[in-house]
A and B are shown apart, each in its own frame.
Chain A
Amino acid sequence: QVQLVQSGAEVKKPGSSVKVSCKASGGTFSSYTMNWVRQAPGQGLEWMGGIIPIFGPANYAQKFQGRVTITADKSTNTAYMELSSLRSEDTAVYYCARSVSVFGSGTPMGSYFDFWGQGTLVSVSS
């Protein structure tokens, strides 16, 4: 069974950076996409970006371009999300989630997020 275990809660000052880790076990890490999704208090889910470890560079949502960096270490089966220039609006729970591609008769039919980490609360406050 796949498990994604994230690093612990963080408290950060505005303008600083945070790096959250997500360690995978029980599956093949390198060939799946690892995504990061955040959820501000009382709000919905927001996809930030994702990376396929064997292919390298990550893909990012336009909103976070230039401020987020997603990386993966194949040797430790760990994905990372670093968010810089933090502001109070970045206070949220950050989740990692594995996505799996679906194929029908060899034709791609989309992807879905089948395993999620437990979430990491990042609080930004002066």
Chain B
Amino acid sequence: DIQMTQSPSSLSASVGDRVTITCRASQSISTYLNWYQQRPGKAPKLLIYTASTLQSGVPSRFSGSGSGTDFSLTISSLQPEDFATYYCQQSYNTLIFTFGPGTKVDFK
């Protein structure tokens, strides 16, 4: 099975900061990589799919990049509503989806 790792596991930041989260796959997954945001007590929300395509309605301050095994999610200017946990997910193997362990973004 494809394993996903994320770094850091948590980070502290301030409103307006530029934040980057990385995700690594245990084997090449091309651009079959999605990013989700989860606020406490809520279901996850899709932010980005196929590594860099912004889901409709998601603010443009979110961006994704990468291919192969290394990916990143960047928030260009952190807003109060962005304090949440972020998960990457591989869909290279559509029979078995795998999520990364998550990165929690909280207030500095």
Q: Interface residue tally of chain A, by bracket?
A: 20 to 34
Hey, which chain A residues are within 8 Å of B98, CB to CB? 47
Q: Are B32 and A114 in contact (CB under 8 A)?
A: no
Residue in A45, A46, A111, A118 whose CB lies within 8 Å of B94: A111
Interface residue tally for chain B (C-beta within 8 Å): 28
Q: Looking at A45, A61, A99, A101, which has the most chain B CB atoms within 10 Å of its CB?
A: A45
Hey, which chain B residues are within 8 Å of A95, CB to CB? 43-44
Binary interface encoding of chain B residues 1-26 relative to chain A, with 1 for a CB under 8 A from any of its CBs, else 0: 10000000000000000000000000
- A-B contacts counted at CB < 8 A amount to 73
Contacts A95-B43, A102-B50, A119-B43 hold; do A111 and B96 have CB atoms under 8 A apart? no
B83 at the interface (CB under 8 A from A): no
Contacts A45-B87, A117-B43, A119-B43 hold; do A112 and B94 have CB atoms under 8 A apart? no
Binary interface encoding of chain B residues 38-70 relative to chain A, with 1 for a CB under 8 A from any of its CBs, else 0: 100001111001100001000000000000000
Which B residues contact A (CB, under 8 angstroms)?
Answer: 1, 30-34, 36, 38, 43-46, 49-50, 55, 87, 89, 91-92, 94-102
Selected A-B contacts with CB under 8 Å, 6 pairs: A37-B44, A45-B44, A45-B87, A108-B94, A109-B30, A110-B50
Which A residues contact B (CB, under 8 angstroms)?
Answer: 35, 37, 44-47, 50, 59, 61-62, 95, 97, 99, 101-102, 108-114, 116-119
Across the A-B interface, the 8 shortest Cβ-Cβ residue pairs:
A110-B32, A110-B91, A116-B43, A112-B49, A47-B97, A45-B99, A111-B91, A112-B34
